[in-house]
Amino acid sequence: MQNAHQLVILDRDGVINHDSDAYIKSLSEWVPLPGAIEAIAKLSLAGFTVAIATNQSGIARGFYDEATLKTMHDHLQSLVAAKGGQVAHIAYCPHGPDDHCDCRKPLPGLLVEIQKKLAFESLEGSWMVGDSLRDLQAGEAVGSRPVLVRTGKGEKTLSNNLGLEKAIIYRDLAEFADWLCTHKK
């Protein structure tokens, strides 16, 4: 079994790539945030397992389909690979908020999928990096350490100051990756 302390789970929109209230509907709209691809590669090269857990309700809303999402994720994977890193698994929820699924964050279903797919005994002590409270809540439900980045919706989440008692806060994914690789435990 793998050590969950070496697992970093990332939200996608607002953490890895620019977010949009109109949804990221195509590969051309999927634009990485500065330093994010390099940060994923850095974590991977430092021995961390990197996974992604992302709500993608744009599928349920008919804005794009799963083939388009796969194209975006394949591109993400190739960008990270070009920097020498790897994303071990991408878990996504294609459902809308009224679909009553068990995978849409803040529920922990996507994280449980990652746990099973990557054969972790538990997620206790792993890292959950997000830009919204629901990301952190999903992580806390499975024992992940919550990390809030100020990119995407992060500043708004920080200004609401609700449910962030346990969160550590970083400017962006690159700053967190630098810190984690320096303070590996």
Annotation marks residue 21 as catalytic: no
Which residue is it, tokens 């350490």? 145
Three-state DSSP state, 77:
helix
**Nearest-angstrom CA–CA distance, 175 and 47:** 17
How far is residue 127's CA from residue 140's CA, in Å, rounded to a whole number?
Answer: 9
Selecting among 11, 19, 135, 172, the annotated active-site residue is 11
- Asked whether the beta carbons of 52 and 87 are under 8 A apart, the reply is yes
Q: Is 135 a catalytic residue?
A: no
**Considering 13, 19, 131, 135, which one is annotated as catalytic?**
13
What is the C-alpha separation between 41 and 52, in angstroms, rounded?
A: 13
Report whether 145 contacts 127 (CB < 8 A). Answer: yes
Q: Which residues are catalytic?
A: 11, 13
